[in-house]
């Protein structure tokens, strides 16, 4: 029903060319992995797909039942996790989720937020300030935040970063669940995470 079409993406930073001619199509149920050395442009590519960075040339388009989704409403269809993101440190974990529900226009429902935290293994720390979260707990909360609105397109930039083995298992479950419902793009350095993808785009080649 949904689809993502990326055509001829090319990104320059002043003098350097990061990547060029990246094209792919993605449909629900598919998982795409992006790999490459550090600094090869994986995160940049994901940010372009999310609409946070403009590509030098090329287009990113999302379709719902064949109709293009305008850029302004893309936020409803995308959930993203990245190492550079942070949540609000002076709020508790649950308050963070509550905020993102409301801002996204999802009626805030405490139970389902708690269920989401349960799913990411944070149920014992719902009322702790994010400032005091450990690195792995922050990563889990970022995952929870990205899933709040059941996004048809999930962009995971190094999703297993800082996580212990239970956390990795959670990521695996998230990807498996997303495979039932929508599209996933994973950017990672870890072979294990790259292998979740049906297809792999290697930016270093």
Contact between 135 and Mg ion by CB under 5 A: the answer reads yes
Comparing C-alpha atoms, which of 7, 22, 55, 29 is closest to residue 153?
29
Contact between 193 and a copy of itself by CB under 8 A: the answer reads no
Answer whether 81's CB lies under 8 Å from 155's CB: yes
Contact between 52 and other proteins by CB under 8 A: the answer reads yes
Contact between 150 and ligand ATP by CB under 6 A: the answer reads no
Contact between 126 and ligand ATP by CB under 6 A: the answer reads no
Provide the strand spans (E) within 44-123.
Answer: 57-64, 67-68, 78-81
Look at residue 180 and give the partner it binds from a copy of itself, Mg ion, ligand ATP, none, a contact being a CB closer than 5 to 8 Å depending on partner kind. Answer: none
Contact between 43 and Mg ion by CB under 5 A: the answer reads yes
Q: What is the CA radius of gyration of the chain?
A: 17
Comparing C-alpha atoms, which of 171, 196, 197, 190 is closest to residue 38?
190
Interface residue list for ligand ATP (CB under 6 A): 13, 18, 36, 38-44, 128, 132-137, 162, 164, 189
Interface residue list for Mg ion (CB under 5 A): 43, 134-135
């Amino acid at each position: 029903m949904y689809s993502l079409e990326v055509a001829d993406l090319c990104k320059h930073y002043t003098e350097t060319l990061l990547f060029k001619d990246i094209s792919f199509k993605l449909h629900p149920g598919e998982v795409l992995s992006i790999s490459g050395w550090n600094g090869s442009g994986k995160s940049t590519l994901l940010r372009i797909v999310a609409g946070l960075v403009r590509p030098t040339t090329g287009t990113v388009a999302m379709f719902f039942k064949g109709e293009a989704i305008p850029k302004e409403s893309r936020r409803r269809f995308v959930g993203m996790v990245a190492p550079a993101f942070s949540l609000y440190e002076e709020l508790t974990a649950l308050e963070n989720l509550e905020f993102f529900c409301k801002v996204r226009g999802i009626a805030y429902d405490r139970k389902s937020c708690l269920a989401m935290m349960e799913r990411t293994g944070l149920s014992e720390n719902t009322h702790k300030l994010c400032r005091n979260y450990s690195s792995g707990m922050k990563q889990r909360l970022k995952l929870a935040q990205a899933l709040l609105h059941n996004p048809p397109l999930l962009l995971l930039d190094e999703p297993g970063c800082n996580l212990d083995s239970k956390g990795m298992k959670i990521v695996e479950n998230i990807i498996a669940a997303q495979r039932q419902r929508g599209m996933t793009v994973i950017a990672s350095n870890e072979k294990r995470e790259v292998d979740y993808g049906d297809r792999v785009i290697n930016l270093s080649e």
